[in-house]
Amino acid sequence: TASKAETYFEEQAKLLDEIKELLKHPKDPVKSLSNLLEQNNDLQKQVAAFYKEKAALLKKELIASIDKRGEVNFIAKSVVFDSAEEIKNLLFELKNEVPSLVCVLATETNQKPSVSVIISDNLVKNKNLNAGAIVKELAKEIKGGGGGQAFYAQAGGSDLSGLAKVIEKAQGIFSSL
């Protein structure tokens, strides 16, 4: 057991030396690492705030682009956004703020294509629309798949070049609203 204990302590010493090297040889590596973790936490909060601000601006842009189709407020847009979670939050905010909404977002997130569809509950019920079925059809354009509920669905894919086709196809699917 003595040789195993020595080997263990040698490995730990080597690991500590590597950590010190990464931290630029501080006098107190624990404090230095703690400060680094705190800075990382602060930066993550700033990034989250930035995404929320960017989403708020995008929401205004989307509301301004509403295409009135009878009683339906229709939005179909292609956007680049780095947070899939904020896109989802944005869509639910739109659904709560805009009556009789159908929104299709073709999104590039971290160089990957995705499609999100959200439909107001009254349109799901009265016009028999189903976001899950629609997103499956649209996802074919980005060589992907997905699904969801009648009022909200998402799909991911592998073909970024298909995002424009998603919007074109969505315009066609919802042309009779």
Q: pLDDT, tens digit, for every residue of 123-136?
A: 999 999 999 999 99
> How many angstroms separate the CA atoms of 7 and 5, rounded?
5
**Per-residue pLDDT, 115:** 96
Question: Rounded CA gap, 169 and 128, in Å?
Answer: 19
pLDDT above 80: residue 7: yes
Q: What are the pLDDT digits (tens) for 56-89?
A: 999 999 999 999 998 999 999 999 998 888 999 9
pLDDT of residue 98: 96
Q: Report yes or no on whether pTM surpasses 0.85.
A: no
Q: Where are the beta strands (DSSP E) in the chain?
A: 67-69, 72-80, 101-109, 112-119, 145-148, 152-156
To the nearest 10°, the Cα dihedral for 54, 135, 137, 99?
-90
Both structure tokens of 162 = 């298909």
The whole-number pLDDT of residue 176 equals: 79
Alpha carbon distance 86, 110 (integer Å): 13
Cα–Cα distance measured from residue 99 to residue 92, given in angstroms and rounded to the nearest whole number: 12
- The CA distance from 77 to 145, in Å, is 19
Check whether 105 has a pLDDT greater than 80: yes
| β 67-69/112-119 pair status | unpaired
Digit-coded pLDDT (tens) for 116-169: 999 999 999 999 999 999 999 999 999 999 999 999 999 999 999 999 999 999
Question: Residue 73 has what pLDDT?
Answer: 96
Average pLDDT over residues 84-103: 94
